[in-house]
């Protein structure tokens, strides 16, 4: 049992796993990072943007050396209807804190940094089982062999078959997961900068609600890369089954809406990809530790769906679990009471507090998806139609008709329900 034994085994080389690996390697602990893909990042996709914090704490040279696509200067929000759209944009000259990346390049760069500092990386290694002895986690089993360690960190992502095997995580329901599908479209640099009104190396993040996912819990997104754009949607699984439509069909419809079509025009498809997003929020967070084991990142359902953030809390949870493992190794105590320090540390972070803040937001939005993603986006578009339209009907009558229709279309009961949900969300956020 000794020859294959190290201090810590980490399963999964996504943002969470590599953050844990580099933290342990910095402390000179013997750490093995196992990844089922050909290289770190080869099975992964996201929107997406990574964030300055906590990236700079883990990889201090990332701004100069990492494969960053663009630095995000502008955030746009589009309320999309079939024939019109309303958009808001925020652009700032202040230093930016978010960067677009492509995961096959970014994840690899992060894992390489951990290896540089002494972590042992093994790709093409699928972990099939967590091994226990006397009730404690002592190692893992791959397709080929068994490995042993004092601590096992599960960073195996949203599906975490391993947390499930240990009984630490319950089955998630189709309403607690969304599928993201994305196309990376090649466009000349100049076209991207012109189309999105950007300077050299500057990026724009666009989030879209409404068409074609009217009355479905879903979001569209566009991120700008150096010489490509990432265009996709995320939609809850139960909505697809209910509406009998596939994610690819929705993505095609999305790209054809008048607000999106000119932004993606002439883009040549470089790669199509898909990945799940945990949507369960705060209430779906599983047991985070047990004797000899800790769970980090998406495997622990740690994603802030309201703000589209997952990599930051994945990295931070990986770092905190690694710091706890270091304390455990130094104290030679791998019991759950020792490893409970990981949860304590996590609870003190702003990310965890944010998850708590939004604990009902996603659920409330989902329960009211018809009004949140269908009816109101339509009404907001109608409002702007009145404001911008000139014709033979006086605006006053148009406004009156708008309000009258609003009351007529929306039964008092549903209007009341919407108001209550809105208040519930607002109170939930500020209390």
Partner 1 sequence: MAKSTDEKLSTVKSKPYTDSHLVPAVQDCRQCGEKACLYVCPAGVYEWNNDLQQLTVKFENCLECGACRIACSKHSLEWKYPNSDYGITYKLG
Ligand X SMILES: Cc1cc2nc3c(=O)[nH]c(=O)nc-3n(C[C@H](O)[C@H](O)[C@H](O)COP(=O)(O)OP(=O)(O)OC[C@H]3O[C@@H](n4cnc5c(N)ncnc54)[C@H](O)[C@@H]3O)c2cc1C
Which residues form the interface with ligand X (CB under 6 A)? Answer: 11-17, 34-37, 43-44, 46-49, 126-127, 155-158, 180, 182, 232, 234, 275, 277, 297-299, 303, 308-312, 314
Determine the interface stretch with partner 1 among 5-13, 43-51, 72-80, 374-382 (rule: CB under 8 A).
43-51
70 interacts with partner 1 by CB under 8 A:
no
CA-to-CA distance for 335 and 337, rounded, in angstroms? 5
If the CB atoms of residues 187 and 296 are measured against ligand X, the closer one turns out to be 296
Shortest separation between residue 143's beta carbon and partner 1, angstroms: 5
Shortest separation between residue 194's beta carbon and ligand X, angstroms: 24
If the CB atoms of residues 133 and 265 are measured against partner 1, the closer one turns out to be 265
If the CB atoms of residues 131 and 398 are measured against partner 1, the closer one turns out to be 131
Secondary structure element (H or E) that encloses residue 270, with its range = strand 268-278
Shortest separation between residue 88's beta carbon and ligand X, angstroms: 19
107 interacts with partner 1 by CB under 8 A:
yes
Interacting partner of 17 out of partner 1, ligand X, none (Cβ under 5 to 8 A depending on kind): ligand X
- Quick one: which of 4, 146, 274, 416 contacts partner 1 (CB under 8 A)? 274
Residue 286: how many other CB atoms lie within 10 Å: 19
103 interacts with partner 1 by CB under 8 A:
yes
Say if residue 262 is exposed, middle or buried (CB neighbours under 10 Å; 0-12, 13-18, 19+).
Answer: exposed
CA dihedral (286, 288, 294, 300) positive or negative: positive
Site for partner 1 in 113-172 (CB under 8 A): 124-126, 142-144, 158-159, 161, 171-172
CA-to-CA distance for 252 and 255, rounded, in angstroms? 5
Q: Which 8-state DSSP code applies to residue 296? A: -
3-state secondary structure of 419: helix
Shortest separation between residue 154's beta carbon and ligand X, angstroms: 9
If the CB atoms of residues 78 and 381 are measured against ligand X, the closer one turns out to be 78
Beta-carbon contacts of residue 287 (< 8 Å; ≥ 6 apart): 168, 169, 295
Strands 120-122 and 136-142: unpaired
Residue 370: how many other CB atoms lie within 10 Å: 15
Shortest separation between residue 375's beta carbon and ligand X, angstroms: 25
Site for partner 1 in 334-373 (CB under 8 A): none
If the CB atoms of residues 176 and 343 are measured against partner 1, the closer one turns out to be 176
CA-to-CA separations, 103 to 16, 262, 286, in angstroms, rounded: 13, 26, 26
CA dihedral (347, 353, 355, 358) positive or negative: positive
Contact 418, 347 (CB under 8 A): no
E strand intervals along 237-288:
268-278
Tell me which residues touch partner 1 (CB under 8 A).
36-39, 41-46, 102-105, 107, 124-126, 142-144, 158-159, 161, 171-174, 177, 179, 181, 183-184, 228, 237-238, 240-241, 243-248, 252, 255-256, 269-276
């Amino acid at each position: 049992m000794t020859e294959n034994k190290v201090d810590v085994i980490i399963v999964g080389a996504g943002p969470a796993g590599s953050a844990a690996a580099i933290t342990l390697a910095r402390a000179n602990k013997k750490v093995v990072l196992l990844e089922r893909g050909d290289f770190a990042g080869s099975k992964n996709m996201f929107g997406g943007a990574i964030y300055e914090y906590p990236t700079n704490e883990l990889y201090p040279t990332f701004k100069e050396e990492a494969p960053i696509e663009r630095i995000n200067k502008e955030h746009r929000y589009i309320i999309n209807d079939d024939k019109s759209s309303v958009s808001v944009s925020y652009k700032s000259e202040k230093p930016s804190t978010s960067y677009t990346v492509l995961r096959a390049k970014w994840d690899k760069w992060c894992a390489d940094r951990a290896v540089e500092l002494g972590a042992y990386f093994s790709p093409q290694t699928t972990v099939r089982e967590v091994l226990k002895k006397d009730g404690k986690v002592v190692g893992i089993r791959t397709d080929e062999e068994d490995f042993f360690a004092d601590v096992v960190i599960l960073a195996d992502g949203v599906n975490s078959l391993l947390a499930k095997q240990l009984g630490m995580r319950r089955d998630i329901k189709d309403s607690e997961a969304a599928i993201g599908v994305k196309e990376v479209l090649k466009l000349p640099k100049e076209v991207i900068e012109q189309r999105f009104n950007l300077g050299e190396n500057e990026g724009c993040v666009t989030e879209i609600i409404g068409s074609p996912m009217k009355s479905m819990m879903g979001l569209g997104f566009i991120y700008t890369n150096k010489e490509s754009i990432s265009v996709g949607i995320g939609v809850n699984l139960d909505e697809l089954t209910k509406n009998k439509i596939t994610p690819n069909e929705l993505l095609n419809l999305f790209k054809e809406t008048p607000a999106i079509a000119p932004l993606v025009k002439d883009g040549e498809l470089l790669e199509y990809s898909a990945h799940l997003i945990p949507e369960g929020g705060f209430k779906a967070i599983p047991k985070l530790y047990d004797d000899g084991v800790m769970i980090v990142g998406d495997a622990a359902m740690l994603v802030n769906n309201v703000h589209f953030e997952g990599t930051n809390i994945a990295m931070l949870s990986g770092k905190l679990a690694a710091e706890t493992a270091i304390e455990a190794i130094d104290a030679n105590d791998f019991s759950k009471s020792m490893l409970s320090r990981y949860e304590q540390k996590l609870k003190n972070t702003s990310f965890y507090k944010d998850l708590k803040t939004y604990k009902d937001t996603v659920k409330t939005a989902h329960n009211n998806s018809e009004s949140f993603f269908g009816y109101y986006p339509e009404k907001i578009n109608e409002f702007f139609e009145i404001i911008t339209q000139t014709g033979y009907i006086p605006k006053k009558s148009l406004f009156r008709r708008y309000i009258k229709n609003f009351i007529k279309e929306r039964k008092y009961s549903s209007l009341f329900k919407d108001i209550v949900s809105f208040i519930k969300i607002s109170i939930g956020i500020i209390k």
